């Protein structure tokens, strides 16, 4: 166990040669390599008294806000809110007249948001647990 300011870490060290220093880190070249590499980088920074830096795999702020909007729209729809009401509450500062709704640009935006929300709720949220590896797998297939 190695205590640091961010918590405790489990480290396996081969003490057969050197008991007091860490000269190398061995990382598996598997699908989680990038995550392991980031953990090693953060560990090295902690050993040298540096701040850990940005955590690999953290969602960008814009993506977080988009997911929040998606789920708020999904919750509103499950509560039987109309598309126009969702658009007014989440996307617009003003009332949208019924006669303008048929051709309003927010109508299409609300539908797209609800499609994304339905994908998230149907299991797409699991991709967030292994972000950004989920993106690299999509590009490989």
Q: Where are the domains of the chain?
A: 2-47, 61-140
Choice among 71-75, 82-86, 122-126 with the minimum mean pLDDT = 122-126
Nearest to 43 by CA among 52, 35, 34: 52
pLDDT in tens, 18-56: 556 667 778 888 887 888 888 888 888 888 888 877 777
β-pair partners for 4: 7
What per-residue confidence (pLDDT) applies to 10?
63
- For residue 9, the model assigns a pLDDT of 60
Say whether pTM exceeds 0.75.
no
Task: Name the burial class of residue 42, with classes exposed (0-12), middle (13-18) and buried (19+) by CB atoms within 10 angstroms of its CB.
Answer: buried
53-81 pLDDT tens trace:
777 777 888 988 999 999 999 999 999 99
Instruction: Write 35-38 long-range contacts (CB < 8 A, 24+).
Output: 35/133
């Amino acid at each position: 166990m190695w205590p640091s300011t961010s918590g405790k870490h489990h480290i396996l060290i081969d003490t057969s040669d050197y008991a007091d220093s860490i000269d190398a880190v061995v990382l598996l070249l598997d699908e989680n390599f990038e995550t392991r590499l980031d953990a090693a980088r953060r560990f090295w920074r902690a050993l040298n008294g540096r701040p850990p830096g940005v955590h690999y795999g953290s969602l960008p702020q814009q993506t977080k806000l988009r997911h929040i909007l998606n789920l708020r729209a999904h919750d509103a729809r499950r509560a039987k809110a109309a598309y126009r009401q969702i658009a007014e509450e989440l996307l617009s500062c003003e009332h949208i007249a019924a006669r303008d709704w048929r051709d309003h640009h927010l109508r299409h935006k609300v539908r797209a948001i609800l499609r994304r929300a339905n994908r998230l709720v149907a299991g797409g949220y699991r991709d967030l647990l292994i972000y950004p590896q989920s993106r690299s797998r999509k590009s490989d297939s």
